[in-house]
Amino acid sequence: MPILLTEPPFYHPAFEEAHQYITGCYRIPKRPLAIFIPCALRKPYSQSPSHRLFRRMISDVFDEEDYHLVIFGTCGTVPAELELMYPFAHYQYMLGKCDDPRIRDDFLEIETSRLERYLRKTTHHYMRRCAYCLGVFREAMIHASERSGVPLDLLLPSNQTIETMRDPDCPFPDGSLSMKEYMDEFRNGLISMKE
């Protein structure tokens, strides 16, 4: 059984090797829409409460063959069908609890680079792209889109909704993507992508 990794995974060579495999020789499915969601603390990701909620909402709007789910964050950039592949189900780390600005900055650069490579590889795989993310994950997605020249068709939650929900006294000031206001906007955004 593989060892559970507890240090920041984005530094670990196994994550870079897995990313090289995904952006190198893995045959990423071609679908009309890519939906990018952040990784989760619970592994496999599909078993986390937030991912169950996201997946249920996505499947209420789209048929499975109409979208490709991509997970990103401290794990790198992972097509959801590879969530059990080592090392993606074998780490325990939460960037939100890290107060070292160097680690946060390193994450932002490493994940931006990985997302950029993924976006470049999949330029012609998807007709449209939607990302649902907050905080530094959102920053990485925005930077990767800009650097790759591959646009996001929809980035949620909207800046206005994030500002409305922001609570500076909370440990996670932007809140959780599972919050009703964010989920309502996500559902409406998904519906708009279907039309």
CATH number at residue 118: 3.40.50.10630
Range from 47-51, 102-106, 111-115, 175-179 carrying the lowest mean pLDDT:
102-106
Return the pLDDT at 81: 98
Most confident listed range (6-20, 98-112, 149-163): 149-163
- Please tell me the distance from the alpha carbon of residue 73 to that of residue 88, in angstroms, as a whole number: 11
pLDDT band at residue 11 under the 50/70/90 scheme: confident
In the chain, what percentage of residues exceed pLDDT 70?
94
**10 or 70: which carries more pLDDT confidence?**
70
- Please tell me the distance from the alpha carbon of residue 122 to that of residue 109, in angstroms, as a whole number: 20
Pull the structure tokens for residue 117.
């490579």
Q: Which domain holds residue 103?
A: 9-194
Give the model confidence (pLDDT) of 84-93 as tens digits.
998 888 777 6
3 occurs within a structural domain: no
Return the pLDDT at 179: 96
Return the pLDDT at 10: 80
The answer to whether residue 174 scores a pLDDT higher than 70 is yes
1 occurs within a structural domain: no
4 occurs within a structural domain: no
- Tell me if the bond preceding 87 is cis, omega within 30° of 0: yes
127 occurs within a structural domain: yes
In angstroms, what is the C-alpha Rg of the chain? Answer: 16
Return the pLDDT at 175: 93
The answer to whether residue 1 scores a pLDDT higher than 70 is no
190 occurs within a structural domain: yes
2 occurs within a structural domain: no
3-state secondary structure labels for all residues of the chain? CCCCECCCHHHCHHHHHHHHHHHHCCCCCCEEEEEEEECCCCCCHHHCHHHHHHHHHHHHHCCHHHEEEEEEECCEEEEHHHCCCCCCCCECCCHHHCCCHHHHHHHHHHHHHHHHHHHHHCCCCEEEEEEECCHHHHHHHHHHHHHHCCCCCEEECCHHHHHHHCCCCCCCCCCCCCCHHHHHHHHHHHHHHHC
Return the pLDDT at 104: 86
Return the pLDDT at 4: 57
Environment class of 187 (CB within 10 Å of its CB; exposed 0-12, middle 13-18, buried 19+): middle
Q: What mean pLDDT, rounded, does the chain reach?
A: 92
Number of domains in the chain: 1
Angle, to 10 degrees, between the axis of helix 180-194 and the axis of helix 49-61? 30
Return the pLDDT at 48: 95
The answer to whether residue 171 scores a pLDDT higher than 90 is no
Give the model confidence (pLDDT) of 55-87 as tens digits.
999 999 999 999 999 999 888 899 999 999 988
150 occurs within a structural domain: yes
The answer to whether residue 2 scores a pLDDT higher than 70 is no
69 occurs within a structural domain: yes
